[in-house]
Amino acid sequence: MLTAGAVILALAFAGLYSVGVLGLLSESWTTAHWRYVLFESGVWSALGFSLALTLVTLGLATVAALATVLIVDMRVRRGPFAVLVYAPLAVPGIVAALLSYQILGDAGLLSRMAHAVGWIRSPAEFPALVFDRLGVGIILTHFAMITPFFVILFDRLFENERVAELRQLAYTLGATRMQALSRVVLPLLLVRALPVCAVYGVVLMGAFEVPLLIGARYPTMISVEIYSRFASYDLTARPQAYAMATLYLLLVLAAWSVALRWRPRPAQTPR
């Protein structure tokens, strides 16, 4: 209830600010800021860019986590590999962005290693992985941050859903390794992990620290676009920031309500 109340209050405040009822320059009710936001290409490009990076990151993290759990199996929970899985979860977003800059930058660790072995003539020739228009640095940083969590998630699901026993049962019934993987293991794990993936999708869509520190000036993710307008010296741009925040929150709530109503239908067994 407290979370829902905070969201409603934030939505109401942002909505009133965006139509000129609240704010330093408020005079009367106006929809000019909303018209500007809805018909400006920059807002929708930021939303599309955020959605694209989120889907790519979630896809890569899901594939990597599933492969890790299926290959490493029980070693995820103990030994040195467990340290590698749990340690990245303690790294904040700001620290992860700074580490990415030191590793992926044109003067970072990878560029200097490539220069040392003779692959490039100077560190500046290293491909741009930070401040790039494709968001490669953002994807790699978020991938490194959320993949360990996905590994733990799929490992717990693998144990709680008794996937190993179901897979062995499929072998007994004559299924091949690929059939058991594609028809038993993957569908079960992915369906059970879907709610958590949806939550992380919302988190990645609204990520701020990493895109702000190592993202390009254009295109930007939606959170950085909102902040840039809110922190602008031009106070007339602040209602636009609140309109963008309101629009983004409404779209997320709409998508979340659809996701909660949608349930994958279980496969019907032939009679």
Residue 186 φ then ψ, to 5°: -65, -50
pLDDT at 74: 58
pLDDT at 36: 77
127 closest CA partner among 140, 139, 118, 136:
136
* Assigned superfamily of 13-261: MetI-like (1.10.3720.10)
pLDDT in tens, 66-93: 888 888 765 666 666 667 777 777 888 8
10 closest CA partner among 246, 257, 248:
246
Residue ranges of E strands in 46-197: none
pLDDT at 62: 92
Average pLDDT over residues 38-63: 89
Please state the domain extents for the chain. Answer: 13-261
pLDDT band at 55 (very low <50, low <70, confident <90, very high): very high
pLDDT in tens, 106-122: 777 888 888 788 787 87
pLDDT at 184: 83
Is residue 2 over pLDDT 60? no
pLDDT at 75: 60
Of all residues in the chain, the percent with pLDDT exceeding 90 is 10
3 state DSSP class of 237: helix
Average pLDDT over residues 147-172: 85
pLDDT at 20: 62
Is residue 141 over pLDDT 70? yes
pLDDT at 140: 93
pLDDT at 269: 39
Q: What is the pTM of this model?
A: 0.82
pLDDT in tens, 201-245: 888 888 888 999 998 888 889 888 888 888 877 777 777 788 888
Buried b / exposed e over 208-241, threshold 16 CB at 10 Å, is bbbbbbbbbeebbbbbbbbbebeeeeeeeebbbb
Q: Which helix (H) or strand (E) holds 169?
A: helix 163-172
144 closest CA partner among 97, 107, 186, 209:
97
CA–CA separation, 158 vs 189, rounded Å? Answer: 7
pLDDT at 6: 64
232, 238 in Cβ contact below 8 A?
yes
Hey, how many other C-beta atoms are within 10 angstroms of the C-beta on 151?
A: 25
55 closest CA partner among 195, 202, 208:
202
DSSP 182: I
pLDDT band at 59 (very low <50, low <70, confident <90, very high): very high
224 closest CA partner among 208, 238, 235:
208
- DSSP letters for 182-224: IIIIHHHHHHHHHHHHHHHHHHHHT--HHHHHHS-SSS--HHH
CA–CA separation, 217 vs 204, rounded Å? Answer: 18
When the pLDDT of each residue in the chain is averaged and rounded to a whole number, the result is 80
Is residue 268 over pLDDT 50? no
Residue ranges of E strands in the chain: none
